Structure 1
């Protein structure tokens, strides 16, 4: 090959290399705006997200603390899953939280719209299958209230003594209804206690009718903001004693973590009170306020009611999952979330369809557990009231029906 040809060939190679470099450079120049745009978008997203979270944290309605003392209870042994609470009937009603049965087969319950109602037996005698009669309208004109967000009351715990129906109302306090006349008398207004009750929840009355034990879930948040109590994690609930004769009010026990249901044991030496957000139930000495026994459960416990066999039904829902255990350790996360979402959305996040009903004795030993794993019969299970026909009436704090289990639960 001649020297001239070699030079020409080398020249062409150099030109090709130069063209390739130019094309690569042009490609980089063309890609640079796209890459820069992506980076800027990502940075802007991170900045906006951070600002939103910071705003949520500092404007949150709660001051969250670490939730301690949680004990994981596995679904085994006496807690093993079954279907005993999955079959029965439903009666459409707005969130009947607590149920009491009269000697004539009538049922009494309080509803989410503020009414207290009587459910008559059917013409053939079936309990809970007859007409629904209004006992109250749901509004007590001129009464002191814990919140006017709903414009009506929210009756929770109910108990029947002869012809008197006693009601704890999260909005209006504690009152009694004379059933023959339907006249209502307020016994305790929310501001009769210091500090005032914001969320009166449940109660029980001693056999002589003189002393009432009441739980106040929070002195800070009323029932419309109940999810804030759980997300905050503070322990500010109180067990309060009320003397019906002297009208004196005393705090038996404070520092409870979402103190909920109330049930005296037979000799009235102790009162059973769940701490809902700690997944445990306490046996509290009625004289000293000392916790004598603690029962840990796999779900959040709610109301407690005695049955005719001398044992007690404790209702519960929302299992202790790894996610709850995780967020319990990080109050910053819970405070931020509570500042970004409404109480209704927060409630949806925390919901679990698996309902459980625990039968326990006075010593706090679990006898059996009834399950509704798929929520076929229950939703937001709040109370189990064993009826005279052998079925169990199942209350709910946010479902749209009153449920009745079949009698097969006892098999």
Structure 2
């Protein structure tokens, strides 16, 4: 190869010009590289934590077998349901002297003692000033100052579940099984008759003033069912109130001819309802209860207290709220007497009394 050919094959080397733009480009490339390293490191660490955790949750047993349920969008808290703080005008009675006075009764012991000691959930005045008590573990009792018997007049009561005990009420709500029943006890024949089956956590019951139907709170489904016990509709059933703003617990007559309904939990709208979010996601429920206890999960449920008064036809008349449970918490029952509303609770160590003239 001669000199001319060598010159033709050689390419001139262009001088490299360093500018501010090239420095920025190098910095950008370095930053991109650092970001990639960070993302890879983060994902690796996350995977090292999440994968074993998922493995553990798969292997762990879940205490419940949740069923998916469909709930309508909760009603808006407007009009007569508009949030207020009227329940904060209540006064506490016998504070720290009671343990979960569910139905305006004094209940002793702890949750662990319930199967042995019993747990009264409903109470009514019977003939001759005796009391009829429905106990979650020991059934139906007629109580007077000297004796305790299993007989009484005709009474309507619920069997919330054939699987879960009263203390496991959160499992019952989250599992959403339909094994609850409405029952009738006949004082003459001393027989129990099944009136309704397939209920999801049937709770409080109330006989109408005319004694032609019984109202049943179906807690898990946020509604009230009606069963006719006399008249042309006897033996039939229909819906009394559907899609309530909370999970109804007990129900009692009001002086206006309607009904007081206590909500054990609220479905806020506007707002986020954990119960509604989980209703159609049984796999999330399984994950939660594999890792957390009932007591821990309960702490995530807002302490929003709500009592509503319904008309005789089921429309809303008024509502009393305590948005953060400042005075009234975990309300289970509202019982009207002599111008006062006495408020029971399934967890609080006190009763509350609200002067209806002040609200």
TM-score range, shorter chain: 0.7 to 0.9
Tell me by how many angstroms 1:240 deviates.
Answer: 0.7
What TM-score does the superposition give when structure 2 sets the normalisation length?
Answer: 0.80
Aligned to 1:210: 153
Counterparts of 1:299 and 1:292 in 2: how far apart (Å)? 16
Determine the structure 2 residue equivalent to 1:156.
121
- 1:367 alignment partner, SS class: strand
* Displacement after TM superposition at 1:38 (Å): 6.7
Q: Is 1:305 aligned with 2:252?
A: yes
Q: Aligned pair 1:113/2:95, yes or no?
A: no
Q: 1:332 is paired with a residue of what secondary structure? A: helix
Partner in structure 2 of residue 19 of structure 1: none
Structure 2 residue aligned with 1:52: 56
Secondary structure at the residue paired with 1:262? strand
Give the distance between the partners of 2:43 and 2:262, measured in 1 at CA: 53
Give the aligned partner of residue 238 of structure 2: 291
Counterpart CA distance in 2 for 1:148 and 1:391 is 32
- Measured in 2, the distance between the counterparts of 1:364 and 1:375 equals 26
Change in CA separation of 1:53 and 1:289 when aligned onto 2, cut-off 3 Å: farther
> For residue 63 of structure 1, what is the aligned residue in structure 2?
65
**Cα deviations by residue, 1:24-46 (Å, 9 ceiling, x for unpaired):** xxxxxxxxxx9998766443312
Decide whether the 8 Å contact of 2:224 with 2:239 is kept in 1: no
Q: 1:293 to 1:392 in 2, by over 3 A?
A: closer
CA shift in 2, pair 1:71/1:253, >3 Å? farther
The answer (yes or no) to whether the contact 1:356–1:369 under 8 Å persists in 2 is yes
How far residue 366 of structure 1 moved from its aligned partner, in angstroms, is 1.7
Matches for 1:227-376 after TM superposition, within 5 Å: 227-286=170-229, 287-320=234-267, 321-349=272-300, 351-376=301-326
**2:79 & 2:209 partners in 1: Cα distance?**
27
**How many residue pairs were aligned?**
313
Q: Tell me, yes or no, if the aligned pair for 1:176 and 1:185 is still in contact at 8 Å.
A: yes
Per-residue deviation, 1:217: 0.8
Query: Against the structure 1 CA distance between its residues 273 and 35, is the aligned structure 2 distance closer, same or farther, given a 3 Å change threshold?
Result: closer
Q: Which runs of 5+ in 2 are unaligned?
A: 1-37
Alignment equivalent of 2:331, drawn from 357, 381, 384: 381
In 2, Cα distance between equivalents of 1:70 and 1:55: 34
Asked whether the equivalents of residues 157 and 183 of structure 2 are also in contact (C-alpha less than 8 Å), the reply is yes
Deviation of the 1:409 alpha carbon = 4.4
Per mean C-alpha deviation after superposition, the further-off stretch among 289-298 and 273-282 is 289-298
Say whether 1:173 aligns with 2:139: yes
Within 2, Cα distance between the matches of 1:74 and 1:38? Answer: 42
Larger deviation, residues 244-253 vs 399-408: 399-408
> Equivalents in 1 of 2:66, 2:47: separation in Å?
29
Partner in structure 1 of residue 3 of structure 2: none
Aligned pairs for 1:34-113 within 5 A? 41-56=45-60, 59-91=61-93, 92=95, 93-99=98-104, 109-113=105-109
| Maintained 8 Å contact 2:266/2:306 | no
Greater CA drift, 298-307 or 352-361:
352-361
